[in-house]
Amino acid sequence: MSVALRNAQSAVLVRRAPLRRAVCVLRAALGASRFDVGLVCAGNGLMRRLNGAYRQRPEPTDVLSFPFHQVVAGELPRPRCRDEYNLGDIFLGVEYIYQQCRATGEDFDSVLAVTAAHGLCHLLGYQHNTKPEWHQMYQKEVEILEELNRLTGTSLRPLTAGLF
């Protein structure tokens, strides 16, 4: 199935092909290759509005995920028809991520891939509101990033490292 990627901002240059490839590998590592996923690369303004509307935090953020299905972490959706083969949408706050990378010296493309992995986990029910949830999500991120690292020669680590 497809990864639909839309760049809805112009503040930061986004290398779409590597991002799309990374998301395809990560989606496969989650066992969800047959599901569509939408990716939107957004600027700070859109992320601020979405974060305010859906999380009551009117500030830009790195990632927001909007799942199509409500599933328990670790389970794949059970679609009843073709139109339900959809994981949902991930909004990547690329301007925010870029600003953070400039401040920390981290590689933007690497952080973008890790942030997409985090967003994909949220689409599949993983959360990090409690320590047990964080641990479960962290382990899943490690697992899927190891697959991406194996195929690309990178050494990416989870976004949620050190959260608890």
Tens digit of each residue's pLDDT (9 = 90 or more) over 65-81: 999 999 999 899 999 99
The dihedrals phi and psi of 50, each to the nearest 5 degrees, come to -65, -45
- pLDDT number for residue 1: 76
Residue 121 · residue 90 · CB < 8 Å? no
pLDDT digits (tens, 9 = 90+) for 7-61: 999 999 999 999 999 999 999 999 999 999 999 999 999 999 999 999 999 999 9
CATH classification at residue 50: 3.40.390.30
Give whole-number Cα distances, 8 to 35, 47, 74, 95, 161, in Å.
23, 11, 31, 11, 28
Number of folded domains in the chain? 1
Confidence of residue 159 (pLDDT cuts 50, 70, 90): confident
What's the CA gap between 49 and 105, in Å, rounded?
A: 27
Whether 157 is covered by a domain: the verdict is no
Confidence of residue 163 (pLDDT cuts 50, 70, 90): low
Whether 144 is covered by a domain: the verdict is yes
CA 153, 37, 1 angle in degrees (round to 5)?
Answer: 85
Whether 72 is covered by a domain: the verdict is yes
Q: How many CA atoms lie within 13 A of 141 on its CB side?
A: 28
Q: What whole-number percentage of the chain has pLDDT above 70?
A: 97
Greatest extent of the chain over all pairs of C-alpha atoms, in Å: 46
What's the CA gap between 95 and 67, in Å, rounded?
A: 22
Tokens at 134, concatenated: 């964080």
- 84: pLDDT strictly greater than 90: yes
Whether 160 is covered by a domain: the verdict is no
Domain of 129, in residue numbers: 3-152
Distance between alpha carbon 129 and the CA centroid of its chain, in Å?
17
Q: Pick the more confident residue, 60 or 161.
A: 60
Amino acid identity of 149?
N
Whether 159 is covered by a domain: the verdict is no
Q: Say if pTM beats, i.e. exceeds, 0.85.
A: yes
Q: How many CA atoms lie within 13 A of 145 on its CB side?
A: 25
